[in-house]
Structure formats: structure tokens, C-alpha cells
Amino acid sequence: MRLFASAPSPSRLSVAVSTGVRRWATAWCAALWLCGGLGVCPPMPERLLAMPMQETMADPKVAQLKAHLDAAETAYRGQDVAQLTEHVNAAIQVLEQILAAAQRSDVPEVRNQHKRLVAAHRILRNLKAKPDALPQMKFNFVEPGADAPKMEANRVSFQNAIAPLIANKCGRCHVTRASGGTQFASAMELSALVFPGDPGRSYLYEIVENDTMPQGNNKLTADEKSLLKLWIEQGGQLDPGLTDYDLRTVAAAPPTAAGDSPEIPRATESDTVFFSRDIAPLLVASCQGCHLQTNQVRNGLSLDNFTRLLQGGGAGPLLVPGEPENSLLIKKLRGMADGQRMPLNRPAWSDEQIELVSTWIREGAKYDGLDPIEPTVELVERSRLSRLGIAEINTLREQQLLQAWRLALVDQPYQQGQTDHFLWIAGAQVDATKIETWLKSAEQEYKRRRQAMNVQPNNAYAGGKILILIPESNYDFSEMSKLLSRREVNTQRRGYWQSTLMGPYLVLAATLSDQQLEELLPSWVGSAMVANLAPGLPVWFCDSLGLALSDGGRGRERGPAANETSFSADQIRRWLGGQLPLAEKEGLDQALAAAWRKQRQRLPELLARLQQGERLETALQIPSAAAWVEFIGNALQR
């Protein structure tokens, strides 16, 4: 049986005059054109054929998904758009449930049915119907039971073999950052590129097998390709007992033999030269392609972040704090060390620039950023933003607003404007009255949150306006979410907030109901306002504090109550890293929000210190990155 293989006959279409039937005719002609002729009733393309169900499935919802799609096919044959839309939306809801708690054995069948769903969704779009947005195909695999079989002796280990391979080959571009808009910081995100059991249908294997990726000289060897292929053939599974794996911990691991990271000296007010403001911009301008943002670093020396700079490369440590004359960096810049002068094949640094670096080393080669593993390029951008005025910040944010719209929706027409605290852009067909009402609500929530925060913006970044994007349809919202967001988005809510180094933004689908907006806008505006205090504040902090600042705790009904749920150290660790499924994440957000409310009198001081540029861990007196889990755990128990 083929999905939607039968189409309404041209003779039946010719008699109808209604707009709805004309839309059926448009879809029909488009299908005929795609299939290359008008003489016969066209079958759908091969990738849209309904495939036989596998005999055994771990999750009965997969059978429900197929049943809804079969019913949608019947509705299509009967030209019943309402029934077709109803069954497609029902299939989308079932698929979201499957993705939230998937069994690995079901993945091939789920992918097959997903192809049918995409075909049906496109037909509805061609008919100008408005189906719900398709979810992202991100599987959240449920934890295996205690009696799950142990790994077979000949099975490829993800943790010991595949994770290090991916981190080494792809880490600099797609694990620690989202080069080209693609990031797989966890095994869950990587699973979207893998078709379990079939390397030939796995995009990950396809691009490494034909040497499309990685770019540069860091291609996989024949043995590494064989290893990846074997892992996929064996089902592309994690090791027993693992439900996800944070690849960033492998990609950020120090390359030293002992595995110990060097101690990071911190800058003080008495220093005259600062890494983020004075030194990092010089490195970014001169060292990209060889030691920065490259798959194959020269001589083992990476300058991608401050930690790697301190580790040095194949020729040894780059810096001797306090002794510029003995530092390899200065010798290389002056052409006084073995080998060639640096930077290679680029203009030599001026005496003034070299003296600036020498002064920085003489003062101890200290770090003044938030996190020593923050990418150097992002650190430079953060430092630049801190020196701009409000007008300059808002100009850059307006440019970002237009860039985001064009990235997601290309040439779709829009309308735009601004209010006291927001810059906005919306689809050209979005009702002007609705936009005005929503912006008024956003301004009201902003003023309430400002009063609750009890702190006034004291720098240009915090005084900059928050962006709002309003796509016209659920489909446009889904496309915008996929292209702009790097974290899981609940598409049923048709809205979310996000932040970049440039500042925070909200995405609100025009299809949001007034009730949904009233329920969710307070926490979204609150989170965005917290993120607007300083660039780079973590999502978990902004979300939990944004909820805490909501009047009367509105939104607290979402997720489990803090006093009813306990959270393990592993859950907290994954939450801090943005790796928890959405439902669990919201539970922790709510729990920490309750803890913030108990400390409400201390919040203004904390927020003021963050505005002044103080690091979050310093403001909260967290001695090290490893101490965050203990801090959160203690806060939840108070």
C-alpha cells in the first residue's frame, strides 16, 4: 500500500468551483509535475511509500502512529481536508510522545513512519491548511532496566571508542560550538545523524565516508571509518546503563599526558593589560586557520580557548608567567626561536603589539574572562560588546533581528517596529491589533519583572532592547525554531526564549492563544531580562530565576513540585549542561526557582554584581566548576 497513492481524478476536480477544491487541484497538479507527466495517476516518490511494520515493537505508540497515518491516507482519498488535518495532528502528537521516551529497537520504524508524516504534512501545506508543526527528530532514549543485557565482547563501545573519535574529529566545530548551525554536544543530538543498523542511510557515515567532513586535513582513516560503520551496523547504541553522553566533556579534555589542567591565574584591578580586551583580539586577527578555529592545529598548539593556550603545543609551554623574555610566544613573535617567525605568512606584529603582550606576561599572564574554556572568538565579541553604548547595542540587535528572520524565513515579507524595551519583527499578515496587544502585555510584564528584580540597568548591554520574532504560522515557527535554537523546544507551546552573546530574544508564533500567552509570557520575559543583565549567563540560571521573579509564582504548576521530587547528582549535572529532557529540565527549573524565592532579599545584590561584570561563580562563591552540582543540590534541600 502506498501512502496517498490515489489522488482525486481531474474530471472530479473540474466540476468543483470552491476555493478548497481549487487547492486540491493545485496539490494534484504539483504531484503530477513532480512525477514527470500528466497521463497517469502518479504514485508518490519512493521515499514516501508506506513500509511494512516490523513484527515486534517495544512501544505500542508506534502502531498508533501508523494507524493515524493510514487513516490520514483514507481521508486524502476522500478529499476530506478536515479529517486529513485531524489525523496528521494526532500523528504528530503521538510522534512527540515516542520521541520523549523512545526505545532504540523502534528507531528504524519510527523513521519510516516519519517520512510518511512529512509527505502528508507537505500535502496539507500545499492545500493551504495549517497543520501543527513537525517536531525535531531528537530521540530521548529511556533508561534500560537493571536486567538489561551487558555489552557483548565484540560490540563497539560508544564511550570508549566512538565518543573520543567524534570529539577528536568534530569537536572543535560541532561539539563545543555550532559551526554552520550544526551542533551535537551529546549522544542524543548525534542520534539524529544515525540510522541504527544501516550505515548507508546514516548521514554521519555518509559525510565521513566520502570525506566531505571533517574539513581540512583531519579526515577519518580507513580504520576509523570501519569502526564507525561497525558501530552503526550494531545498532548505533550507547553502552549499557547510559541514556545519554555529553561529548563536550571529551572534546574539552586537556591533551596533556597527565590529564591535569594548568591553574588559571585571574586578573585583578591592578593589572594594566587584559587578555579579553588587549591580547585575544590580536590572536583572533592573526592566528585563525593555523591555531584557531581549525580542524588540524599546527604543531599541536591550539588557541581556541585560554586553557588550551596555557597548555602549549608540541614545542612546549607558550608562556612563562612573569618572564616575557623566556616565553616562547614572545620569541616566536620576534623570530628569535627555532623555526619560522609567527604569525606565518602574515604581517609581523608591531613592536607596540609585542610589548603589549610582554606587559601582559610580565603581570602574570592572567585571565579576565568568565570561563577559561570559552572560545577565544566569543570572548573577543563579549569584550567588544562591553565597551559599546546603548544606541550601538540596539543597532547591532536590530541587525541581528533582521538576520535571524532572513535566515529562517528567507524572503518572507515582514513588518517591524519597537517599543520602550523591545525590538520586534512579525510576518506581514500577522494582525496589527494582535501585535499591539502582545507588545503591550510584554511591556507590562517587563515593568513587573523590573520591580521584582529591584535593580536598574547600569550598563549599555543591560539597557539594550530585547528582541521579539512573531512568525505567522506553526510551520514558520517550527522552521525558525530549528534554525535559530540550539536547545530542545516544546513546539506545543508555540513560543520560547533564547539568548546569544548579542542578547536575548523571544519567538512567539502568531497562532498562540491568549490563554497560552498569559500563562507563559511572564516566565519568558523574566528569563530574557535576566539574560539581558550580562552576556553569556547560563540558560538554567536565567530560566530558574525568571520563574522566581514571576508574580505569585505563575507557571509553577508546570513540572513537578519541588517538595515532591528529588534530583540526583547526575540529573543536576546534565541539567547544568543543557542535556536533560524538557520535562525533567522544567522540574529542576521550578525547584530552583522555589529556592531563589526563599533568598529573594539577596537577589538585587546578586543581579547588580552580575551587571558590573562579575562572574556568576564568583558572585555565588562557587570555588570551582565541579562545585556547581553540590551548590545546586544544597540549594534544593533548603
The dihedral over CA atoms of 270, 275, 276, 279, expressed in degrees to the nearest 10, equals 130
pLDDT at 295: 61
Cell of 86: 485531524
pLDDT at 4: 36
pTM above 0.85, yes or no: no
At residue 176, the 3 state secondary structure works out as: coil
Cell of 55: 513484527
Place of cell 555565588: 620
Domains by residue range for the chain, with CATH: 10-126 (no CATH), 158-251 (no CATH), 275-385 (no CATH), 390-637 (3.40.30.160)
- Which tens digit of pLDDT belongs to each residue from 472-506? 998 899 888 878 875 555 656 789 999 988 999 99
Residue 211 near residue 138 (C-beta atoms within 8 A) = no
Mean pLDDT by 10 residues, the chain (638 residues): 34 35 44 34 37 49 84 83 89 86 80 87 86 81 51 73 86 72 76 82 88 79 90 82 66 44 80 95 91 77 89 88 95 88 91 96 91 84 88 95 91 95 97 96 92 79 95 90 67 84 94 90 93 89 89 44 66 81 87 90 88 81 75 85
Residue 409 near residue 476 (C-beta atoms within 8 A) = yes
pLDDT at 180: 60
- Which tens digit of pLDDT belongs to each residue from 22-58? 444 444 443 433 333 323 333 333 333 344 444 444 5
* SS3 annotation, 318-380: CCCCCCHHHCHHHHHHHCCCCCCCCCCCCCCCCHHHHHHHHHHHHCCCCECCCCCCCCHHHHH
Q: Which of 289, 305, 287 lies closest to 369 in space, CA to CA? A: 305
Instruction: Report d(CA 597, CA 545) in Å as an integer.
Output: 9
**Which residues, other chains included, contact 115 with Cβ-Cβ below 8 Å and sequence gap of 6+?**
47, 48
Instruction: Report d(CA 112, CA 102) in Å as an integer.
Output: 15
Within a 13 Å sphere around the CA of 297, how many CA atoms are in the beta-carbon half? 22
DSSP characters for 60-122? THHHHHHHHHHHHHHHHHTT-HHHHHHHHHHHHHHHHHHHHTB-GGGHHHHHHHHHHHHHHHH
Helix axes 514-531, 539-548, angle to 10 degrees: 120
The dihedral over CA atoms of 27, 32, 36, 37, expressed in degrees to the nearest 10, equals -150
Q: Which of 519, 545, 551 lies closest to 532 in space, CA to CA? A: 545
* SS3 annotation, 427-444: ECCCCHHHHHHHHHHHHH
Place of cell 532592547: 465
Question: DSSP assignment, residue 587?
Answer: H
Q: Which of 497, 468, 502, 501 lies closest to 393 in space, CA to CA? A: 502
CB atoms under 10 Å from CB of 348, counted, come to: 14
Element (H, E) at 188: helix 187-190
**Which residues, other chains included, contact 46 with Cβ-Cβ below 8 Å and sequence gap of 6+?**
none
